[in-house]
Structure 1
Amino acid sequence: MRIFLIIMFAFFSIASCNRVEDEGTPNFPDGSTEATNLWVQDSMKRYYYWAAHMPLKPNYSLPTKDFFKSLLYSGDRFSSILDKNNSSTYPKTVRSIYGFDYAVIQLADGKVTAVIKLVLKNSPAQNMGLQRGMIMTKINGTAITSSNFNQLISTIINSTALNLSVGNWDNGNIINEQNITIQSGFTFDQPLVSKIIETNGKKTGYLYIYDFPDNMGQILLQKFSEFKIAGVQDLVLDLRYNYGGSVASAAALCAMIPSGISGSTPFIIYKGNKNGGEVKMTFAQQIAYNKGAPGFNVLYSNNLGLSKIYILTSDSSASASEIVINNLKPFMEVIQIGGTTLGKDMAGFIIEDKRNPPKISWQIHPIIYKVYNANAEGEYSMGIAPSVFVNEFSNLPILPLGDPNETLLSTALNKIFSKYSASSNSNNSPKVIWQSDWQQQFSLKK
């Protein structure tokens, strides 16, 4: 099952977190809620970025999930915890349950509707015929309005089956409306989508990356080999729905794009608490965390040697995808098109009890580091603003990803081929008023 996490960064192998001894620390019997909570507290004291802000005397008798929340810094949007033996503690999202995503938009006439913006391959949603660009008019039989959409969308993740009324946009009208019932189910790894677009002999590569799973170097090698053999001169990287994943895989991607880098070139800086300190890593060092995957030299053999890149983004671009944007900037011109990114300038790794057998089934996903590029530039907690703001939903119906006429991609291609591009953000354009809950996307990735 595809479930989503904060950046996965396998920096340490956590066996079982050793106690951080403090004078007067209580002892609790093994197996008790209090003992589990004490383990959580000790783990957070050692690794948590905001450990210095944790309460000195927490309430150990709280349920573990509530106890964990009581430890968190008020500005922490991303740390989470789950019980591997209790599926009810796992995050629920529309993407993870049904395999699609959507945005609620307000049209020029004030009406509110929802647009299907993403349908995952081989997902329950795709298998029932849902497609990107469809208009969702009803949820479980109730029409979406400006006054009820918040209530309606909250019901989506609390059921195991979903009935949608959907249709196609046609010059302001919704046609071919139909009812689709989607059962909850599994969605597995998503393929990369690539194509080569040629105009007047100039070739541009397009690469859509949904997320950054571990060990994606081999598929990147294949895609960039195709680009290089074809003589691609420009690259459009589509990260608009990419919530992140492995930093090592993000580094592998970055190694194949700009000219003038080597394995020893600085790539990233991690800054942690007093225990974590500061860690600097080169391209080769970061890529090597994907054990068994192609190393820097193999990846660099298909490097495109570009001085400029076009990256498509939205507020669903986060974590490792933001690292790609920020960490390419010291080496090339990054032209970002679309919306401001989410603003997750942080990284973490999983903490769990790996004793044999384990005594604690909880798994902690804390924020452990702030991340910076080779020039020590970071601090984008409010998101990375694009060079060119474009409303993806300004022209309905929205087209398939990779279609040269799709709004964000066409803007990039117009810049590449030096064509005039009319503004797609007029006052009459649909306005996004709600998108699915990004916070739930950062809790687990298996």
Structure 2
Amino acid sequence: MKSLQYFYLALLLVLLIPGGCKKDPPPVIIPEASDEKKFIYNALSTYYFWEKQVPSLSKALYETNKDSLNAFLNKSSDPEALFYKLLYKYGEVDKFSFIVDNYTELDDWLAGVSKTVGINFKLYYIDNTSNKLVGIIRYVYKDSPAEDAGLKRGDIFTHINDQQLTDVNYKSLLFTNVNYTMGFADYNGTTFTLNGRSVALTPIEIMENPILLDTIMDVDGIKVGYLVYNGFSNSYDVKIGTTYDIELNNVMGRFKNGNISKLILDLRYNSGGYISTAIYLASMIHSTNTSLVFAKSQFNDLLTSYYLTNYGQDYFNQHFQDKIPATGNTPETPINSLGIGEIYAITTSETASASEMLINGLRPYITVKQVGTNTYGKNVGSFTIKDYIDNAGTVNPRHRWAMQPVVLKIANSADFSDFTNGLSPDIEASEYAVDLLPFGDPEEDLLKACLDDIRGVKSAAVVRLSPFRPFKSTSDMSPLNRMMYTDKIPPLPEDIR
């Protein structure tokens, strides 16, 4: 009987002890992060120029604990949120990196393909008291609906589908792939008034030819080549049967055969493009001596170590070139080089990245007279990064995400790269928003400033301030605005580490 009492007493004590009958909690199972999130993390921690400045990108944090990396990645609601979370001071320092969920869309952008009516315009506030906007066409794409409709540089519009443009509705009215009718206006120096002209436009898929105009001008007996060049594109255009690199080379061949002694390169709306095209253009202007260094690339520590080990110090140098390599559609092409010692570069705040690389890269070798206003100030470039699963360029079939992060900084052969505030003009001039003369007109403000200097006329700076507050331009709405990029496929992260 006593032993039974001891048994019940022991049982009671066990029941009264907190946790006495509790089992150990099951281990927390952290789900594997998605392929998309792992791709974003691995790419940024490997290639991103500011990788060292983002503590979360340090692989050392997660090398011994895969679960902690999965937990970190899973905190972000979606791949896009994770990407922008991992950028260094996005919007302040890194203003350029971006990501897309469909790399076909990115490939089209890089090729210069978009669905558009074919106009480049800028929007301004009509006055300082309302949100109403006026649009001014700056140029029209070749072989576009806008060109077919007779639209031209300097045309003014205020209405789309009978609705006044505002800073609220401009996106829905102008940047949708649907038909619309544009209502045009006149400006009398004070107000804009509808003039009764309207044009119906239907967007189509267009590849923009960056060579808008090339001509040879006679300036008091001096032969001057004038080129309006709007983007460093290397795409193959079936309409002209060649690449834009080769077409650019053909233009320089015509200039060379025309015995020009001066070149005016109009980059006022050129916000960038391929680094390789900038190198070819520099070679067309100055020299095909491939021993000369045009520019230098700087990468993060990881990529620098990889490239140095595998390719040597000269990998970081971008040399002048004597030929444009063959492509699937075009043969190897010798570069037509002018070999001139001075050029004029027309610039504005929209002149950026590869345009600035060209100006900065040529300056150690020739005189570049910059005419206009300060450039934008972008000295960094990017790779197109997809989720490659081998060195042959095969992409992970389980998703279509791709990114265009900043991966490199560009300096010239003298190691100068400090132009984040823009490159300053030697001759100040500007175009007047409501009085845009055709390109090539010798009285057009920016071209005239160049021609006056060639003639030896020391005119005062022609800076006519716009009476209207600028809002946005077509370029501002482009995802590749101010981008500078290389067409090389980067090595796989696992090959680098």
TM-score, normalised relative to structure 2: 0.72
1:150 equivalenced with 2:167 (yes/no)? yes
1:342 corresponds in structure 2 to: 376
Of stretches 246-255 and 417-426 in structure 1, the one that deviates more from structure 2 is: 417-426
Deviation (angstroms), 1:49: 0.5
Which residue, out of 286, 290, 307, partners 1:258? 286
Which has the higher relative contact order, 1 or 2, with Cα contacts under 8 A spaced 6 or more apart?
A: 1
Against the structure 1 CA distance between its residues 424 and 399, is the aligned structure 2 distance closer, same or farther, given a 3 Å change threshold? same
Of stretches 281-290 and 335-344 in structure 1, the one that deviates more from structure 2 is: 281-290
Deviation (angstroms), 1:421: 3.6
SS of aligned partner of 1:358: coil
Which residue, out of 213, 217, 221, partners 1:197? 217
Structure 2 counterpart of 1:362, one-letter code? W
The structure with the largest alpha-carbon Rg is 2
Deviation (angstroms), 1:246: 1.4
Measured in 1, the distance between the counterparts of 2:386 and 2:446 equals 41
1:138 equivalenced with 2:159 (yes/no)? yes
Measured in 2, the distance between the counterparts of 1:88 and 1:304 equals 34
1:53 equivalenced with 2:80 (yes/no)? no
Which blocks of at least 5 consecutive residues in structure 1 are unaligned? 1-25
SS of aligned partner of 2:248: helix
SS of aligned partner of 2:378: coil
Deviation (angstroms), 1:122: 2.1
1:393 corresponds in structure 2 to: 432
Which runs of structure 2 are paired with 1:212-223 in the superposition (5 Å)?
Answer: 212-214=232-234, 216-223=244-251
Against the structure 1 CA distance between its residues 62 and 98, is the aligned structure 2 distance closer, same or farther, given a 3 Å change threshold? farther
Of stretches 163-172 and 329-338 in structure 1, the one that deviates more from structure 2 is: 163-172
Deviation (angstroms), 1:391: 2.1
Measured in 1, the distance between the counterparts of 2:480 and 2:326 equals 21
Measured in 1, the distance between the counterparts of 2:331 and 2:337 equals 13
Measured in 2, the distance between the counterparts of 1:49 and 1:202 equals 46
SS of aligned partner of 1:309: strand
Which blocks of at least 5 consecutive residues in structure 2 are unaligned? 1-28, 57-68, 235-242, 305-312, 488-497
Measured in 2, the distance between the counterparts of 1:419 and 1:294 equals 45
Against the structure 1 CA distance between its residues 177 and 328, is the aligned structure 2 distance closer, same or farther, given a 3 Å change threshold? farther
Contact 1:83–1:90, Cα closer than 8 Å, also in 2: no
Structure 2 counterpart of 1:53, one-letter code? Q
Against the structure 1 CA distance between its residues 285 and 418, is the aligned structure 2 distance closer, same or farther, given a 3 Å change threshold? closer
SS of aligned partner of 1:67: helix
Larger helix proportion of the pair: 2
Contact 1:119–1:130, Cα closer than 8 Å, also in 2: yes
Which residue, out of 211, 215, 229, partners 1:209? 229
Deviation (angstroms), 1:248: 1.1
1:225 equivalenced with 2:259 (yes/no)? no
Superposed CA RMSD in Å reads 3.5
Measured in 2, the distance between the counterparts of 1:168 and 1:314 equals 26
Structure 2 counterpart of 1:76, one-letter code? D
Which residue, out of 94, 100, 103, partners 2:119? 100
2:25 corresponds in structure 1 to: none
> For 1:69-109, what per-residue CA distance to the aligned partner results, in whole angstroms no more than 9, with x for missing partners?
11111121111111227869998x99853332222346899
Aligned residues: 407
Which runs of structure 2 are paired with 1:6-17 in the superposition (5 Å)?
Answer: none
Q: Percent identity?
A: 27
Contact 1:100–1:118, Cα closer than 8 Å, also in 2: yes
Contact 2:103–2:402, Cα closer than 8 Å, also in 1: no
1:306 corresponds in structure 2 to: 340
1:369 equivalenced with 2:404 (yes/no)? no
Deviation (angstroms), 1:208: 1.3
SS of aligned partner of 1:190: coil
> For 1:11-48, what per-residue CA distance to the aligned partner results, in whole angstroms no more than 9, with x for missing partners?
xxxxxxxxxxxxxxx9865xxx7331111110110000
